[in-house]
Amino acid sequence: MAKPRGTDGSLIDSLPWTLTAIGFALSAHLPYLPVWITAAFLACAGWRIVIERRRAAVPSVWVRAALALICFLGVLATYDTISGVGPGSALLAIMAALKLLETRQRRDQFVLLFIALFLVMAALLREQYLWSLPYLLVAVLLVMTAWIRMSAERAEPLGRSLATGGRMLAYALPLAVAMWIFFPRISSPFWSVPIDTSSAVTGLSDRMSPGDISSLSQSDALAFRVKFDGEAPPPPERYWRGLVLHDFNGRTWAGGGPIGNRPATEQIEFEGDPVRYRITLEPTNQQWVFALELPFEWTLPRTRMGFRQQLYNIYPIDQRIAYEVLSYPAYRNQASVDVRSRAWYTDLPGRTNPLTRALASEMRARAGSDQDFIRDVLARFNREDYYYTLRPPALGNNPVDRFLFDTRRGFCEHYASAFAVMMRAAGIPARIVLGYQGGEFNPLSGQYVIRQSDAHAWTEVWLEGQGWHRVDPTAAVAPERVELGIAGAIVDGVGAAWGLSAPSQVLHRLVLGWDALNARWNEWVLGYGADTQDTFMRWLGMDNPNWRNLFLTMLAIVFGLVILIGAALTFRLRPPDKDRAAVLYRRFVRKTGLTPATGETPNAFAVRVSAAYDRAEKPVRALTNAYLDTRYGPPDRSALKRLETALAEIPRFAPLRARELLHKSGEAP
């Protein structure tokens, strides 16, 4: 016997909702998924709708198996693996699409909705931004609504489905919050979520070619946030040091890896007053840790200061981290440069940028001292018509030559690079520092926001007796870049792209407000990790918040909440007496074995039942009266009790029926 393959069209009411829920859950993944998966999902959804409309048969098991195999191989081919967020969500999408083709009954859509919930959860593995919270809530609400519409007996009004779904979420919310607070966080997780490293993170890289940073400065993406303990240093002192590049190939500066494990502070003289602040660094997938020049202490484990005063973490920073730093803006780097290092820091590849070298030699000869030479070079940038622009012209071979003598338009990396090359040409050790400069103060959160557009490159030169010290050639060309920040210096920036001379005040405030909100979200919600939890638990009065205690507390609280919410619901949702009465009355009707006619009142029915059975009149009468009082009378607790008692006293009619009737007819005259 062949199994039925056709559909009876019973999905037609709930299918649009199920599809909407899955589609919405899937939409968060769409930008990351290969196009063919989206296409496959849409094709399967369309196919299913056609099946449902035409009451056609679902594809046979062989077709479905073949499709599943093809799709699986497709995912494998696209990702080379099936583990990780990307392939995982791709497989989930494929599962949802193919499950559509074998769903036969309404209730089978459970699986589809479960997949939708999984997709929503997987979206959290990709990104946990504040704006994704409303999206997630809407997605879950849609799933719940689809669920209710799937289970509803008849098509109920959409508003009621939505309300029921929302109510269920509201009931679940306290449980979710309790579990979130008390679920033990472990500082070094023994499981780890495979982070999707394929998605690019904008930020500094460990190389610098002309154009790298100017392209970065178009990005409004957040680099990190800073909250100062007390006064912030003025903008010209806010150089956020990242990495140091020293290896120049004529075009590109590169740095050595973060090698070295000795405390690099030993040759540093820290002077003046320190600045204490807290940085919340966005993930960079790099090892560099940014801090104000020059960090003295920091509260980040597994982070050291290596050669060239670079802070680095032994692992790439693949999630948001927060750390406190104590920096001394006034410091003297007395590191000595031996002969080998000197050759290293003055190395220029041969036959590149000859004009620059010639100019440097000439100027050095004229200057007399290294200090004067530096001043002359900066004065040249300042006096001659060099321009600071986001859109410098392209530079061919010998980019420094071309920049210095032809185009004369450049961004910070052009000036830093040109300056360092000139220093090296004159025999002065020089290197490039990459980091950020300035930052915008957000009065709403009290934090400084440093964006990718604040990325900056400057130089350090080594002078005999003075050690390494910072020279920012960009400041010579465009002092306002350092004084006012990137937005003050660049007029052809983002605003210009939108045809605005300057972003409007309101828009700016909105951006700041959103940023402040995000900062709180990061700090309080996403940043709720092992340390914060420990502090919070101790504040709550837990003596020893270890894994076991937290877990037991969580269980106890969740259990208590379930009982509490359950009791509240039972109390609130208990049917009114009159509905309970109807239930009891139906039980009575079943007992009688008779069926009330349409429009037959309970009294009329009672008469009929009394006539049909012997000795039935009294209990039936009592029950009917109690029922009428409970259901139609004014609220009266005792009436329901009477009804329950009466129902208990009703004899089992059905088995007696035949005998009773015979008995009755025998008695008839």
Partner 1 sequence: MQGRSTLETLPAGKDAGRAALDHARAALGRIILDKDRQISLALACLLARGHLLIEDLPGLGKTMLAQALARVLGLSFSRIQFTSDLLPADIVGVSTFRRATGEFEFQPGPVFAQLVLADEVNRATPKAQSALLEAMEEQQVSVDGNTRGLPKPFFVVATQNPADQIGTFPLPESQLDRFLMRLTMGYPNEHNERELITGQDRRAMLAGLEPSATADALVALQAAAATVHMSDPLVDYIQALVRQTRESPNIDIGLSPRGAQALAAAARAHAYVERHPGVYPDDVQAVFTAVAGHRLKAAGNTSHRDAAELCQHVLDSVDIP
**C-alpha to C-alpha distance for 134 and 643, rounded to whole angstroms:** 49
Report in angstroms how near the CB of residue 160 gets to partner 1 at its nearest: 18
Question: What H or E segment, with its residue span, contains residue 451?
Answer: strand 447-451
| Among 199-207, 258-266, 347-355, 591-599, the segment contacting partner 1 (CB under 8 A) | 591-599
Count of residues engaged in binding partner 1, rule: CB under 8 A = 17
Question: What H or E segment, with its residue span, contains residue 99?
Answer: helix 85-100
473 exposure class (CB count in 10 Å sphere: 0-12, 13-18, 19+) = buried
Of 12 and 582, CB closest to partner 1 = 582
Q: Considering only residues 249, 334, 504, 603, which one is a binding residue for partner 1 as defined by CB under 8 A? A: 603
Residue 293 contacts residue 330 (beta carbons within 8 Å):
no
Name the phi and psi angles at 259, rounded to 5.
-95, 170
**598 near partner 1, rule: CB under 8 A:** yes
**C-alpha to C-alpha distance for 123 and 139, rounded to whole angstroms:** 11
Of 464 and 579, CB closest to partner 1 = 579
Q: Considering only residues 300, 628, 643, 646, which one is a binding residue for partner 1 as defined by CB under 8 A? A: 628
Of 53 and 590, CB closest to partner 1 = 590
| Among 267-275, 310-318, 440-448, 593-601, the segment contacting partner 1 (CB under 8 A) | 593-601
Q: Cβ of 417: how many Cβ atoms within 10 Å? A: 27
DSSP string computed for 528-580: --HHHHHHHHHHHT-S---HHHHHHHHHHHHHHHHHHHHHHHHHHHSPPHHHH
**173 near partner 1, rule: CB under 8 A:** no
| Among 43-51, 238-246, 464-472, 625-633, the segment contacting partner 1 (CB under 8 A) | 625-633
**C-alpha to C-alpha distance for 286 and 512, rounded to whole angstroms:** 27
Question: Which parts of 549-578 interact with partner 1 (CB under 8 A)?
Answer: 578
Report in angstroms how near the CB of residue 558 gets to partner 1 at its nearest: 37
Q: Considering only residues 111, 201, 512, 582, which one is a binding residue for partner 1 as defined by CB under 8 A? A: 582
Closest CA to 145 of 174, 116, 173: 116
Report in angstroms how near the CB of residue 602 gets to partner 1 at its nearest: 7
Amino acid making up residue 70 = I
> Residue 522 has what DSSP assignment?
I
Of 593 and 596, CB closest to partner 1 = 596
Of 237 and 600, CB closest to partner 1 = 600
Active site residues: 412, 456, 472
Report in angstroms how near the CB of residue 579 gets to partner 1 at its nearest: 8
Report in angstroms how near the CB of residue 616 gets to partner 1 at its nearest: 19
Of 81 and 638, CB closest to partner 1 = 638
**C-alpha to C-alpha distance for 231 and 274, rounded to whole angstroms:** 11
Question: What H or E segment, with its residue span, contains residue 177?
Answer: helix 158-182
Burial code (b: 16+ CB inside 10 Å, e: under 16) for 617-626 equals eebbbbbbbb
**604 near partner 1, rule: CB under 8 A:** yes
Residue in the block written with tokens 């100062």: 228
Of 180 and 632, CB closest to partner 1 = 632
Report in angstroms how near the CB of residue 597 gets to partner 1 at its nearest: 7
**632 near partner 1, rule: CB under 8 A:** yes
Burial code (b: 16+ CB inside 10 Å, e: under 16) for 512-533 equals beebbebbebbbeeebeeeeeb
**631 near partner 1, rule: CB under 8 A:** yes
| Among 105-113, 202-210, 511-519, 633-641, the segment contacting partner 1 (CB under 8 A) | 633-641
Q: Cβ of 103: how many Cβ atoms within 10 Å? A: 21
> Residue 407 has what DSSP assignment?
I
**601 near partner 1, rule: CB under 8 A:** yes
**92 near partner 1, rule: CB under 8 A:** no
**C-alpha to C-alpha distance for 387 and 476, rounded to whole angstroms:** 11
Question: Which parts of 288-317 interact with partner 1 (CB under 8 A)?
Answer: none
Q: Considering only residues 230, 499, 541, 599, which one is a binding residue for partner 1 as defined by CB under 8 A? A: 599
74 exposure class (CB count in 10 Å sphere: 0-12, 13-18, 19+) = middle
Report in angstroms how near the CB of residue 605 gets to partner 1 at its nearest: 10
**621 near partner 1, rule: CB under 8 A:** no
**C-alpha to C-alpha distance for 288 and 314, rounded to whole angstroms:** 9
Report in angstroms how near the CB of residue 635 gets to partner 1 at its nearest: 9
Q: Provide the token pair at 219.
A: 């990005």
**C-alpha to C-alpha distance for 460 and 242, rounded to whole angstroms:** 13
Amino acid making up residue 569 = L
Q: Considering only residues 157, 272, 634, 669, which one is a binding residue for partner 1 as defined by CB under 8 A? A: 634
Q: Angle between the 653-667 and 602-612 helix axes, to the nearest 10 degrees?
A: 60
Of 499 and 634, CB closest to partner 1 = 634
Contacts 24+ apart (CB under 8 A), 83-88: 83/194, 84/194, 84/196, 85/122, 85/125, 85/126, 85/193, 85/194, 85/195, 85/196, 86/32, 86/33, 86/196, 86/198, 88/122
Q: Provide the token pair at 42.
A: 């849409």
Report in angstroms how near the CB of residue 633 gets to partner 1 at its nearest: 4
Binding track, positions 430-459, relative to partner 1; x by CB under 8 A: ------------------------------
**C-alpha to C-alpha distance for 67 and 35, rounded to whole angstroms:** 17
Report in angstroms how near the CB of residue 601 gets to partner 1 at its nearest: 5
Of 336 and 603, CB closest to partner 1 = 603
**597 near partner 1, rule: CB under 8 A:** yes
**595 near partner 1, rule: CB under 8 A:** no
| Among 100-108, 134-142, 514-522, 628-636, the segment contacting partner 1 (CB under 8 A) | 628-636
**629 near partner 1, rule: CB under 8 A:** yes
Q: Considering only residues 295, 545, 602, 619, which one is a binding residue for partner 1 as defined by CB under 8 A? A: 602
| Among 79-87, 176-184, 213-221, 596-604, the segment contacting partner 1 (CB under 8 A) | 596-604
Of 29 and 631, CB closest to partner 1 = 631
Query: Is the torsion defined by CA of 505, 219, 480, 280 positive or negative?
Result: positive
Report in angstroms how near the CB of residue 576 gets to partner 1 at its nearest: 8
Report in angstroms how near the CB of residue 41 gets to partner 1 at its nearest: 45
Can you give the binding site for partner 1, defined by CB under 8 A?
A: 578, 582, 597-604, 628-629, 631-634, 636
